Amino acid sequence: MLLNEAVDYYHSLLTDRLASEMDGMMRKVLRHRSLYFGSRPICTVLRPHFYLKTQWEFLSNETAILLEAFQRAHDACMENADLRKQLKLEDYEEKLFDLDRGSVIPWTTSRLDSFFSVDRQALHYVEYNAETPAGMGYEDVLAQTFLEMPAVKQFQDRYVVRHMPLLGELLNALLWGYQQWGGTHAPQMAIVDWQHVPTLNEQEMTRQFFEQKGIRTILADPRALEYRNGALWFGGFRVDMIYKRVLWSEMVKVMGMDNPIIHAIRDHAVYMTNSISCKLMAKKASFAFISDERNTHLFTEAQQRAIADHIPWTRVVADRKTQYAGEEIDLLTFISDHRERFVLKPNDEYGGKGVVIGWECSDKEWSDALRESRTTPYVVQERVDSVRRPFPAWNDGKLTISDRFVDADPYVFYGSKVHGCLTRLSSETLLNVTAGGGSVVPSFVIEKKD
């Protein structure tokens, strides 16, 4: 396979001396940019993740078709309260959805998380991060860092290497949304999140990039914002636009519904992205919605094909009958008896919180999780094959090459444009960086030179 040939060639360029030099280069950059989680750097390997051009085109094209399906699901749920019930929404979400009616698309940026086996061209999405997709700053810094490394420079003697910068695309999408909302001048922007989050270093990188492009930008804890005299303020800084990184669920839990951000949005005094109705598809239950036989009629034939090929069987855990592999089943009994086939996920969590992997847990742990799902909305999702690829690293004074679990998480802009990709690695099944279960590498598209 051509990709394996490229990976083998890259690995052949590495020696202990070169690996040690590259590891030192990378750690120096990451320390300078504060790209650590505690004592662990965000990247621990010495090779980017590669896609052949044809592989990236397949990933992009299939993602675009699924995005159309998610858009249809979103629109249908906005118009039909009975359909929305399938998503197990919170009361506050129902109360706020009217703020989005008739406005611009609810997600100017999003990310679909998947496992993509390029050997078999098997692509399976497992989550849609439609609310606060992170990682773009990490990818840009790592791409720039790797492009300066000697092994990557030698690799480019034989291969054309293309990376897809993300922060510029992010800024363009945010400004486009602001203009669609009605903004007529360059906005003053606040990147809004809690002041203690571990990803604050990435947000500072994003702020600096926006400032370099001429957009005045601050980092702001939502609790420090004030709504007065018809405008949203952070001290003496007027906020025209919010790039929201805080989660709606956390913000409402901490600040309630009577808070300055909601008041400013309601009065059309500030533009915020991503907006409240992005929560419809950000729920884990969105995968249940689009893969449930009850909703097949909502989608075109092309979308139905993409759903069947790339969305694993998913259902909201409930006492009901449903279809599995063409047969009617009692859902609770079936998933109780076949834990090795499934994973359980809380409907509205992130960072791997509360995820129970059936094939890695005990019968008791599975039963306890099913019991929890009676009071807290969960989805059950069919197991998909993980993807493992070899990556080199400098460990204990020597070069090692070992397999890591790897995912493929393409970014989406304007609700439809696929550009760039978050790639996470882990030695464990659950890939999540902030939860301590992995690292990040840049993603490059390559072509062999003639």
Last residue of a domain, one of 367, 382, 397: 382
| Domain boundaries, position 344 | 282-382
Between the two ends of the chain, the Cα-to-Cα distance in Å is: 17
Verify that 68 and 115 share a domain, yes or no: yes
Verify that 296 and 267 share a domain, yes or no: no
Verify that 295 and 372 share a domain, yes or no: yes
**In the structure encoding, which two tokens stand for residue 232, read together?**
């949203």
User: What pLDDT score does 435 carry?
Assistant: 46
User: What pLDDT score does 297 carry?
Assistant: 97
Verify that 255 and 188 share a domain, yes or no: yes
Letter string b/e over residues 189-202, b meaning 16 or more CB atoms within 10 A of that residue's CB: bbbbbeeebebbbb
Last residue of a domain, one of 382, 402, 427: 382
Verify that 138 and 263 share a domain, yes or no: yes
Verify that 342 and 404 share a domain, yes or no: no
Verify that 378 and 394 share a domain, yes or no: no
User: What pLDDT score does 101 carry?
Assistant: 67
Per the structure, how many domains does the chain have? 2
pLDDT in tens, the chain (450 residues): 799 999 999 999 999 999 999 999 999 999 998 888 767 899 999 999 999 999 999 999 999 999 999 999 999 999 999 999 999 999 899 888 878 766 667 889 999 999 999 988 899 999 999 999 999 999 999 999 999 999 999 999 999 999 999 999 999 999 999 999 999 999 999 999 999 888 888 999 999 999 999 999 999 999 999 999 999 999 999 999 999 999 999 999 999 999 999 999 999 999 999 988 999 999 999 999 999 999 999 999 999 999 999 999 999 999 999 999 999 999 999 999 999 999 999 998 877 788 999 999 999 999 999 999 989 999 999 999 999 999 999 999 999 999 999 999 999 999 899 999 999 999 875 555 444 457 899 999 999 998
**Rounded distance between C-alpha atoms, residue 74 and residue 76, angstroms:** 6
Verify that 36 and 168 share a domain, yes or no: yes
**Rounded distance between C-alpha atoms, residue 108 and residue 94, angstroms:** 21
**Rounded distance between C-alpha atoms, residue 159 and residue 171, angstroms:** 30
Verify that 373 and 401 share a domain, yes or no: no
Query: CB of 388 within 8 A of CB of 401?
Result: no
Verify that 117 and 234 share a domain, yes or no: yes
Q: Which residues contact 231 (CB under 8 A, 6 or more apart)?
A: 238, 239, 264, 269, 270
Last residue of a domain, one of 336, 362, 382: 382
Verify that 253 and 160 share a domain, yes or no: yes
In 3D, which of 243, 199, 109 has the Cα closest to residue 433? 199
